[in-house]
């Protein structure tokens, strides 16, 4: 074993295991003589008027040293989240001396003999080798030692800055808001913190300011063209909660609000936030982050009341506003959102840049009550410039989205997206929440674009955008919109939209709406997949493959089982798809009343409708309207059309179309529920060459199509064919 001796201020080691028995006998007398001399010297020194300890190294865990009768009375280490070392609360008493990562604060540390107020000279310090040293102290000295964390040592992933109280959280906010970005530093929430609980405060005197008045000041308080104090660190919520967060903003106009105001090149992970965030002036609000830029959020949950009483720009359950390149993964919002301009269950507004949202879900209600422009269960308003792509995968909305506006403002509402301007990919996502416009009276051409997945797709840029919707569905009710679709309400502008393996089972109904004028025609369209495909001055492309509608549709103007109306500049393709929903249209004012099993393609006058392709499509649903209904489609003035293997139920005697075409085939319900019909549809697939059909399309469209497989048909429980999504 090893024995440690203090000899002249230097520690020496003797290994007694190496001494053999005969050596011990030979050394016995000299050893006794040396030991006696050491004892005499030690007694003499311990009773002498001692002048110096020389350099005594403080060893971890040892607080009593002889022969100097020196004691460490107390040790305190700086809390990693504390920046102001003049603050007494920055230090916590410990029993074991820190072995690394800390240096002695020579100014705060002190020694005394009898009276703590009578400090004596001497030195307590840390040398260049990281050793803690006691030097030049008098006999019977007692020391209080403060250790400061070494910058660059704390804030690492292995040794993160610790948030252990509301005071720590407030101090972090104050520090970032004064310009400390914490760039690259790791911060960890040690435990659940409740703003209402005294026990979660180190100093409870600050509590009232955090739960009343304006409440908590967001971390990294920044505003749009106002000021910028971003947080650039990595915040690990450690699967803990911030409970009863209270922010009540009435003074920070055009600022970003949330637990974090502005996160730039940083991360927020593994955190739950509950409470309320409200503003009475224009501001962007996110439950976790107000503005997210070139950053990530992972595994975060919110359950907040988020509200703006002004026409604020963006409100989001997780993030208010995003810019540049951002990722949001595995997040859930239970937050109820009210007010704002662009509202989203996960993100309110995505500005120019790439945004990826994966495996994230909104379960909270969104209420549109003042001046909104767009609202979506996942993303309210996406305005990328067409050079990047917004990606939403494996995500869902189950919360209700309600438009209570009574003034004449246009609105776009969707279960996943509200309004989409740029490129997007939406995969493996769904909406089950009810989407309702509570108003039933509209001025002429005031639009409420309402879709189970996307409210509106629009692009006026010279370069058309590309939107790919794959394996998505809607089961929620869609009510009282002017353009309603089970997947998309309005697809217009310079858009290229591909919908694959997607369906609607929700009820679609705008039959109760009226228009304030009955002397001029207004437009209202409802479709099982797309409500209105409107090219206008640009070409709107809609490609629908392997998709279906089961929802019943009631409306005014035009109703279609797959696509209600498509006209002006358009390229439309519907392939390997079907409708089983029943369709009803009533007349409103001078509007027409039309119902078509698949849809309307072009208008009799005027029309510059370009291309129509229908392949392996059928309608089994009933149709009813005041104008002449068609079991299949109304086709008018289409410049280039290809119709191949389309079928409709002819039990009612209603014609399939306004045109005669041998490929529009009427069948009895008995024939359509016979397995032979299922086999026919499968045989038709073998004759379809997707490469040939899409040979004239853009390379971007072709690239997506090459990864799409036409889905086989199986006989459903009631006999009619259904797509075999499980295969």
- 385 pLDDT above the threshold of 90: no
Token pair of 328, please? 């949001």
Confidence at residue 47, expressed as pLDDT on a 0 to 100 scale: 33
Confidence at residue 590, expressed as pLDDT on a 0 to 100 scale: 67
Instruction: Give me the count of residues in the chain.
Output: 727
With H, G, I as helix, E, B as strand and everything else as coil, classify residue 108: coil
Question: Which of 269-278, 354-363, 462-471, 575-584 comes out lowest in average pLDDT?
Answer: 462-471
Higher pLDDT pick, 471 / 63? 471
The string of pLDDT tens digits covering residues 119-156 is 877 778 888 777 888 777 777 788 889 888 877 777 88
Are 199 and 232 within 8 A, CB to CB? no
Hey, where are the domains in the chain?
2-47, 55-149
Confidence at residue 12, expressed as pLDDT on a 0 to 100 scale: 27
The string of pLDDT tens digits covering residues 530-549 is 999 987 666 778 999 999 99
Instruction: Report the alpha-carbon distance of residue 185 to residue 175 in Å, rounded.
Output: 13
* Band of residue 595 on the pLDDT scale cut at 50, 70, 90: very high
* Band of residue 442 on the pLDDT scale cut at 50, 70, 90: confident
Instruction: Report the alpha-carbon distance of residue 251 to residue 39 in Å, rounded.
Output: 75
- 449 pLDDT above the threshold of 90: yes
What mean pLDDT do residues 653-679 have?
96
The string of pLDDT tens digits covering residues 194-248 is 999 999 999 999 999 999 999 999 999 998 766 799 999 999 999 999 999 999 9
- Per cent of the chain over pLDDT 70 is 85
Confidence at residue 428, expressed as pLDDT on a 0 to 100 scale: 98
Confidence at residue 18, expressed as pLDDT on a 0 to 100 scale: 28
Are 434 and 400 within 8 A, CB to CB? yes
Instruction: Calculate ∠ Cα 212-214-216, nearest 5°.
Output: 85
Confidence at residue 607, expressed as pLDDT on a 0 to 100 scale: 52
Confidence at residue 44, expressed as pLDDT on a 0 to 100 scale: 36
| Dihedrals phi, psi of 495, to nearest 5 degrees | -110, 145
- Mean pLDDT (the chain, rounded): 86
State the residue for tokens 């005499």: 40
What mean pLDDT do residues 658-678 have?
96
Per-residue DSSP letter, 482: S
Question: Which of 353-357, 390-394, 563-567 comes out lowest in average pLDDT?
Answer: 563-567
Confidence at residue 402, expressed as pLDDT on a 0 to 100 scale: 95
Question: Which of 33-47, 370-384, 556-570, 592-606 comes out lowest in average pLDDT?
Answer: 33-47
Q: Which long-range contacts (C-beta less than 8 Å, at least 24 apart) are formed by 61-69?
A: 61/96, 61/97, 65/6, 65/134, 66/6, 67/6, 67/42, 68/6, 68/137, 68/139, 68/141, 69/139, 69/140, 69/141
Are 234 and 266 within 8 A, CB to CB? yes
The string of pLDDT tens digits covering residues 487-509 is 999 998 788 899 999 999 999 99
> Do β-strands 495-500 and 488-492 pair in parallel, antiparallel, or remain unpaired?
unpaired
Q: Which of 604, 601, 663 has the alpha carbon at shortest distance from 633? A: 601
Are 565 and 555 within 8 A, CB to CB? no
Are 635 and 659 within 8 A, CB to CB? yes
Confidence at residue 189, expressed as pLDDT on a 0 to 100 scale: 97
- 672 pLDDT above the threshold of 80: yes
Instruction: Report the alpha-carbon distance of residue 629 to residue 586 in Å, rounded.
Output: 11
Q: In a 10 Å sphere around its CB, with 0-12 CB exposed, 13-18 middle and 19+ buried, how is residue 534 labelled?
A: buried
What mean pLDDT do residues 604-633 have?
87
Instruction: Report the alpha-carbon distance of residue 233 to residue 149 in Å, rounded.
Output: 18
Confidence at residue 609, expressed as pLDDT on a 0 to 100 scale: 67
Confidence at residue 122, expressed as pLDDT on a 0 to 100 scale: 73
Cis? peptide before 280, omega within 30° of 0 = no
Confidence at residue 225, expressed as pLDDT on a 0 to 100 scale: 67
Cα–Cα separations (whole angstroms), residue 416 to 320, 381, 646: 16, 10, 31
What mean pLDDT do residues 655-670 have?
96
- 567 pLDDT above the threshold of 90: no
What mean pLDDT do residues 38-59 have?
40
Higher pLDDT pick, 23 / 422? 422
* Band of residue 74 on the pLDDT scale cut at 50, 70, 90: confident
Q: Which helix (H) or strand (E) holds 647?
A: strand 640-649
Confidence at residue 470, expressed as pLDDT on a 0 to 100 scale: 98
Confidence at residue 73, expressed as pLDDT on a 0 to 100 scale: 84
The string of pLDDT tens digits covering residues 295-335 is 999 999 999 999 998 877 899 999 999 999 999 999 999 99
- 3 pLDDT above the threshold of 80: no
State the residue for tokens 């800055």: 161
Confidence at residue 8, expressed as pLDDT on a 0 to 100 scale: 27
For the whole model, what pTM was predicted? 0.84
- 53 pLDDT above the threshold of 50: no
Confidence at residue 725, expressed as pLDDT on a 0 to 100 scale: 96
Instruction: Report the alpha-carbon distance of residue 387 to residue 367 in Å, rounded.
Output: 32
Token pair of 141, please? 């000295």
What mean pLDDT do residues 423-452 have?
91
* Band of residue 518 on the pLDDT scale cut at 50, 70, 90: low
Confidence at residue 653, expressed as pLDDT on a 0 to 100 scale: 94
> Do β-strands 583-586 and 553-560 pair in parallel, antiparallel, or remain unpaired?
parallel
- Of 48-52, 56-60, 648-652, 659-663, which has the strongest mean pLDDT? 648-652
- 19 pLDDT above the threshold of 70: no
With H, G, I as helix, E, B as strand and everything else as coil, classify residue 13: strand
* Band of residue 420 on the pLDDT scale cut at 50, 70, 90: very high
**Neighbouring-strand partners of residue 298:** 269, 329
> Do β-strands 296-308 and 283-286 pair in parallel, antiparallel, or remain unpaired?
unpaired
- 182 pLDDT above the threshold of 80: yes
- 285 pLDDT above the threshold of 50: yes
């Amino acid at each position: 074993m090893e024995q440690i001796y203090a000899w002249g201020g230097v520690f020496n080691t003797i290994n007694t295991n190496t001494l053999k028995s005969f050596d011990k006998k030979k050394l016995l007398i000299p050893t006794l003589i040396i030991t006696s001399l050491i004892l005499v010297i030690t007694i003499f020194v311990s009773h002498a008027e001692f002048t110096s300890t020389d350099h005594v190294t403080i060893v971890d865990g040892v607080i009593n040293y002889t022969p100097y009768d020196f004691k460490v009375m107390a040790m305190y280490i700086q809390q990693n989240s504390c920046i102001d070392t003049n603050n007494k609360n920055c230090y916590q008493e410990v029993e074991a001396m820190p072995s690394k990562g800390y240096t002695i604060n020579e100014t705060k540390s002190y020694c005394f003999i009898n009276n703590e107020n009578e400090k004596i000279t001497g030195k307590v310090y840390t040398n260049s080798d990281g050793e803690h040293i006691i030097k030049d102290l008098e006999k019977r000295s007692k020391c209080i030692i403060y250790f400061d964390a070494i910058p660059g040592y704390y804030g690492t992933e292995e040794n993160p800055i610790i948030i252990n109280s509301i005071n720590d959280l407030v101090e972090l906010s104050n520090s970032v808001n004064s310009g400390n970005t914490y760039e690259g530093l790791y911060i960890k929430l040690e435990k659940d913190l409740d703003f209402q609980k005294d026990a979660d405060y180190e100093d409870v005197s600050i509590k009232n300011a955090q739960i009343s008045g304006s409440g908590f000041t967001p971390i990294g308080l920044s505003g749009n063209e106002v000021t910028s104090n971003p947080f650039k660190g990595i915040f690990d919520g450690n699967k803990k909660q911030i409970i009863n967060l209270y922010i009540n903003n009435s003074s920070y106009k055009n600022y970003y609000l949330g637990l974090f105001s502005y996160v730039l090149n940083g991360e927020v992970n593994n955190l739950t936030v509950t409470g309320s965030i409200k503003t009475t002036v224009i501001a962007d609000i996110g439950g976790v982050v107000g503005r997210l830029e070139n950053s990530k959020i992972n595994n975060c949950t919110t359950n907040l009341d988020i509200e703006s009483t002004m026409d604020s720009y963006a409100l989001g359950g997780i993030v208010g506003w995003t810019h540049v390149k951002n990722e949001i993964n595995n997040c859930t919002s239970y937050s109820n959102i009210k007010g704002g301009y662009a509202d989203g269950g996960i993100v309110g507004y995505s500005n120019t840049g790439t945004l990826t949202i994966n495996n994230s879900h909104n379960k909270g209600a969104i209420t549109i009550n003042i001046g909104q422009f767009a609202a979506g269960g996942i993303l309210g308003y996406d305005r990328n410039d067409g050079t990047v792509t917004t990606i939403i995968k494996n995500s869902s909305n189950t919360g209700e989205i309600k438009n209570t506006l009574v003034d004449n403002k246009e609105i776009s509402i969707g279960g996943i997206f509200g309004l989409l301007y740029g490129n997007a990919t939406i995969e493996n996502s769904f909406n089950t929440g009810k989407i309702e416009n509570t108003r039933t009276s509209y001025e002429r051409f005031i639009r409420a674009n309402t879709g189970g997945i996307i409210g509106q797709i629009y692009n006026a840029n010279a370069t058309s955008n590309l939107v790919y919707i794959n394996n998505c569905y809607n089961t929620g009710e869609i009510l009282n919109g002017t353009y309603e679709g089970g997947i998309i309400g309005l697809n217009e502008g310079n858009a290229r939209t591909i919908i694959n393996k997607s369906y609607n089972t929700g009820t679609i109904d705008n039959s109760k709406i009226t228009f304030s004028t009955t002397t001029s025609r207004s437009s209202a369209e409802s479709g099982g997949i797309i409500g209105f495909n409107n090219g206008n001055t640009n070409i709107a492309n809609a490609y629908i493959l392997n998709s279906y509608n089961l929802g019943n549709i009631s409306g005014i103007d035009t109703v279609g089982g797959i696509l209600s109306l498509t006209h002006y500049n358009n390229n439309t393709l519907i392939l390997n798809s079907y409708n089983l929903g029943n369709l009803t249209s009533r007349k409103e004012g001078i509007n027409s009343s039309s119902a078509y099993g698949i849809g309307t393609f072009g208008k009799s006058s005027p029309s510059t409708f370009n291309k129509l392709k229908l392949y392996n499509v059928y309608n089994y649903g009933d149709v009813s309207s005041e104008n002449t209904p068609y079991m299949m489609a109304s086709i008018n003035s289409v410049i280039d059309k290809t119709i191949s293997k389309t079928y409709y139920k002819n039990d009612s005697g209603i014609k399939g179309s306004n045109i005669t075409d041998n490929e529009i085939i009427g069948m009895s319900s008995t024939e359509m529920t016979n397995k032979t019909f299922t086999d026919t549809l499968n045989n038709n697939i073998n004759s379809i060459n997707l490469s040939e059909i899409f040979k004239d399309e853009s390379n971007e469209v072709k690239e997506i199509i090459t990864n799409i497989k036409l889905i086989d048909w199986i006989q459903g429980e009631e006999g009619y064919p259904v797509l075999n999504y499980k295969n």
